[in-house]
Structure 1
C-alpha cells in the first residue's frame, strides 16, 4: 500500500485543530488526522464528528489498556464514532488484544466497516530499546489478529521482514530533515525523516509538531505529501 500521512493534532482545544483541518481539507491525497489523549479529553466525540463531516479519516490514539471486557467495550464505542484507526497497548496481553479484535469483527455484521487495529509496542520516547523485543511484540500482534503495530521507523524493516509486507507499520517520531532535534519540546528520540521512514517500510507517517508549530502548516503538509508521492 502507498504510504499515508497522519497529522497529529497536538492542540489543547478544538479551535486550532479545526482551523488546520479547514486548510487541509481540499488536499489530494487528504491526510489522516490523529486525535490523542489531550485533545480527546478536552473535546471528545464532538470534534471527531466534525472532522468526519469534513471528510477526514481519523486515527483515535488512546492506546487502550485495561481488562479485556473494558477494552472491547471501548472499541465498540470508538466504532460508533466512525473512526478509521484504533490502537491498544500490546503489553495488555493476548486476552486483551483478542477481545479488541473480536469487538471489531462483531461490528462487521452491523456496518461492514472495520477500523484498522494497531498494537503499540514501545514508545518512541524510550531510547534504550531492544529491537528484537519489538519484533516479537509485532509477531504476537499478527498472531492475535491485529492489522499492524505502532513502532518507530527504526524497527519497521525488521517488523516487515518478520511479519510480511501486508502487516502494517504506523510510525510516530517523524521529523523533517531541517527539524531542530534540540527543541526543548522534543521528547521522541527514535526518529527518522519521511524519506528514511518510507524506505524502511512505514505505511503511516505520524507528524505532529513540525506541522502544528510551523508558520505555514499547509505548506509543510504539502511538502510531506510530495515526498510520499515521489518515494
Structure 2
C-alpha cells in the first residue's frame, strides 16, 4: 500500500493558493474502496474505480519532479495490476487457484510490463505540484496521475499478458528441448565412438592373441580422445554450444 495520504492533506495546499483539480481532491480516487472478485472460493482484491472508470496514483513528497512522477505512475500501475490480475484469474482459474501454476506466475509477472507498454496510449492525466518544505529547506514535489481504466482496457491487458506469457513459456520449453536433444546427440555420439573403437580393439587383440594388449589399449585410448575432441569441435561449430 502506498503511504501518500500525508502528502495530500490540507497541511500542504497547492502552491500560490490554487485549488486541487477535482480528481486530485476526490476521495474516491485518492483512497479508493476495495472490491473483490471470488474465483473458485479465492478472493482477488483490487481498487474500485469511480463513476467515470478512473483510477489514480499518487506519490509521496520527493526531491525532484521526475521522482514524484515516477512514484505516481508506480502507484497507478499497481492499482491497475490488481484489476487485471483478477480478470486473468477469472479467465483462467486453474492457473491461479488454489495455487498459481508456472503459467499463472508468468502471467502475473507480465502484467506490469503490458501496462508500461501502453503508457503512451493510456496518456495519463498528470498533476505536479511544488511543496515548500518547513524550516526553509527548499522545495519538494508531489505528483498524481489518472487514467480511464475501462473493462475493455482490462480485458485487453489480461489477454495480452496471458498470450505473451504462454508464448514465452513455449519458447523456453522449446529451447530446453533443443538443448536436451543436442546433449543427447553429443553423448550418444561419444558412446558410439567408444563402441566402435572398443570393437576394433577387441578384434585386433583377439587376432594378436593378447601379445600387444597394452600397446593396443594405448592406441585405442588415444584414438578415442582424438575422435571425441574432433566431435566436440564439430558440435561447437555447427550447434554453437
- Range class of TM-score, shorter chain: under 0.3
Q: Which structure has the highest helix share of the two?
A: 2
Q: Under a length normalisation based on structure 2, what TM-score does the superposition of the two structures give?
A: 0.24
Q: TM-score, normalised by structure 1?
A: 0.25
